[in-house]
Chain A
């Protein structure tokens, strides 16, 4: 038995985007134990949402829970508020919400992939992926008016309409992006040194994934077919626009990369279908009611299942709001999958989980 070293990673570390603290106990640079400490960014949003803000303002506040999947948060909140108000939103608003969620998924997945490449020491691929990612940012800006905080969904519908030109622009850009996506798939799939680093590292088996209750691409890479888009139909009609489940079996970093790349392909198809089949209707359902009762909503964010619970009491201010972010479910799986890997791969493994700590800690 070799000497054990404790290597702290974080709270500030170049391979991390956010303050997150991992303590690896290593033996000959092999990780034997991991401690995670994720609550650096707890801000107290839930409490503020139930005291400081009116329920119509809350959708803008919960967008600031996380910058990467802000649209998922705003949409999930809007849906839960609509359930409390007992209103049905127009079909066009549903389609537009799906459109932005899918665009957001593309940008988030590409960011995660580039981050994996960077942390595997492949700088050129990082640059390439980031360059290809810019198109999704530009599209999001064209659709919503801002590059990251969209504030697109509001209670009762969406805030902006999609102009036909913008729709055409999206289709055009997606067409340009297709060959680039194939190129990326080729590199992530076949680059020899990258596969040395990524194949067989950070493995989470299907049983462990089931036991530790992981969600999102992390679970799908391990072979668990969990995706909220596949399960719920009442709020957003995913199946109608051609959703398709993607799973892999290996459960390692490489499998997660491939899952993300293939999901981008699915997202592109969804976006095309959405724009082609965009129904004409109003954007907003107006109501003077106040939220009442309890409701829950599940939504597939780029990282997995996002869960919202809200309770209203017929006043402007909600009585209780609870957010369960996808990364929160994944933390146990994350810590588990480190064991037995080289410390050198740890950065790439962290990136491949695509952790979003500001979601987790709120």
Chain B
């Protein structure tokens, strides 16, 4: 039994509206409701960046909300996944080119999953989150591997200069 594989069963969600029309936001809310009930997958809407894994962003990023967006993203601990919900979060949608819009979340933070539709349906959002889980798992693995590499080098090398470490690093995966 591999305990680590159960990790992806508990994605905690943070939701931020970066200037959309609320349409996608209420659909995210509808996901929590009995009909769609995303708590089935162990998701909780935490509202606290420090404890969440998935950031759901809706809306084209307006000039005033972009700083908050980046701030919130920075506060989340790795591994983290960003989902852009809706046409206007993914590309700017109908708001693209308006003078106060930046057009798309991916201009500021890396987006992993794009959910299309204006507005997105709850089924699409759930599907997006489920796809995000796979990415989350991959990111977790990557994070762990990088840690292992460092440890390996320190263990084997007696002399810790940079050249030495660089020589010693071997892929740890068998």
Closest residue to A115 on the B side, CB-wise?
B29
Partner-binding segment picked from B1-9, B96-104, B144-152, B165-173: B96-104
- When each residue 91-134 of chain B gets 1 if its CB lies under 8 Å from chain A and 0 otherwise, what string results? 00111011111000000000000000011010000000000000
Inter-chain CA distance A127–B29, complex, in Å, is: 10
Instruction: Tell me, yes or no, whether B140 is within 8 Å of chain A by CB.
Output: no
Instruction: Tell me, yes or no, whether B24 is within 8 Å of chain A by CB.
Output: yes
Q: A14-B47, A358-B19 are in contact. Are A131 and B64 (CB under 8 A)?
A: no
A contact residues around B121 at 8 Å (CB): 147
Chain A interface bracket (under 10, 10 to 19, 20 to 34, 35 or more): 35 or more
User: Can you report 24 A-B residue pairs in the complex whose CB atoms are below 8 A from each other?
Assistant: A12-B14, A12-B47, A12-B72, A14-B46, A17-B22, A18-B25, A19-B18, A19-B19, A40-B19, A40-B65, A43-B19, A44-B101, A52-B97, A64-B21, A67-B22, A111-B26, A111-B29, A114-B33, A130-B30, A131-B35, A146-B119, A147-B27, A149-B23, A358-B22
Inter-chain CA distance A11–B65, complex, in Å, is: 8
Closest residue to B88 on the A side, CB-wise?
A64
Q: Would you call B98 and A44 a contact (CB within 8 A)?
A: yes
Closest residue to B22 on the A side, CB-wise?
A67
Q: Would you call B16 and A12 a contact (CB within 8 A)?
A: yes
Closest residue to A18 on the B side, CB-wise?
B17
B contact residues around A39 at 8 Å (CB): 64
Q: Would you call B22 and A43 a contact (CB within 8 A)?
A: no
- When each residue 271-286 of chain A gets 1 if its CB lies under 8 Å from chain B and 0 otherwise, what string results? 0000000000000000
A contact residues around B98 at 8 Å (CB): 43-45, 47-48, 52
B contact residues around A146 at 8 Å (CB): 119
Chain A residues 165 to 201 lying within 8 A of chain B, measured CB to CB, are: none
Instruction: Tell me, yes or no, whether A289 is within 8 Å of chain B by CB.
Output: no
Closest residue to A111 on the B side, CB-wise?
B26
Instruction: Tell me, yes or no, whether A214 is within 8 Å of chain B by CB.
Output: no
A contact residues around B30 at 8 Å (CB): 130, 133-134, 137
Inter-chain CA distance A147–B29, complex, in Å, is: 13
Q: Would you call B119 and A148 a contact (CB within 8 A)?
A: yes
Q: Shortest CB–CB separation between residue B3 and chain A, in angstroms?
A: 30
Closest residue to A52 on the B side, CB-wise?
B97
Instruction: Tell me, yes or no, whether B135 is within 8 Å of chain A by CB.
Output: no
Closest residue to A63 on the B side, CB-wise?
B21
Please pick, from B17, B21, B24, B62, the residue contacting A65 in the complex, using a CB distance under 8 A: B21
A contact residues around B45 at 8 Å (CB): 14
Q: A19-B17, A19-B68, A60-B94 are in contact. Are A68 and B26 (CB under 8 A)?
A: yes
Q: Shortest CB–CB separation between residue A331 and chain B, in angstroms?
A: 17
Instruction: Tell me, yes or no, whether B153 is within 8 Å of chain A by CB.
Output: no
Inter-chain CA distance A146–B35, complex, in Å, is: 17
Chain A residues 28 to 86 lying within 8 A of chain B, measured CB to CB, are: 39-45, 47-48, 52, 60-61, 64-68, 70
A contact residues around B11 at 8 Å (CB): none
Per CB-CB distance, the 6 closest pairs between chain A and chain B, nearest first, are A67-B23, A14-B47, A130-B33, A67-B22, A41-B19, A44-B98
A contact residues around B101 at 8 Å (CB): 43-44
Q: Shortest CB–CB separation between residue B87 and chain A, in angstroms?
A: 10
The residues of B with any CB-CB pair to A shorter than 8 Å are 14, 16-27, 29-30, 32-35, 45-49, 59-60, 62, 64-65, 68, 72, 88, 93-95, 97-101, 118-119, 121
- When each residue 121-162 of chain A gets 1 if its CB lies under 8 Å from chain B and 0 otherwise, what string results? 000000100110110010000000011110000000000000
Q: Would you call B34 and A130 a contact (CB within 8 A)?
A: yes
- When each residue 343-362 of chain A gets 1 if its CB lies under 8 Å from chain B and 0 otherwise, what string results? 00000000000001010000
Q: Shortest CB–CB separation between residue B107 and chain A, in angstroms?
A: 15
Q: A18-B22, A134-B35 are in contact. Are A41 and B94 (CB under 8 A)?
A: no
Q: Would you call B59 and A41 a contact (CB within 8 A)?
A: yes
- When each residue 311-341 of chain A gets 1 if its CB lies under 8 Å from chain B and 0 otherwise, what string results? 0000000000000000000000000000000
Instruction: Tell me, yes or no, whether A239 is within 8 Å of chain B by CB.
Output: no
Q: Would you call B35 and A19 a contact (CB within 8 A)?
A: no
Q: Shortest CB–CB separation between residue A90 and chain B, in angstroms?
A: 28
B contact residues around A127 at 8 Å (CB): 33-34
Inter-chain CA distance A107–B32, complex, in Å, is: 16
Q: A67-B21, A358-B20, A358-B22 are in contact. Are A43 and B33 (CB under 8 A)?
A: no
Q: Would you call B26 and A148 a contact (CB within 8 A)?
A: yes
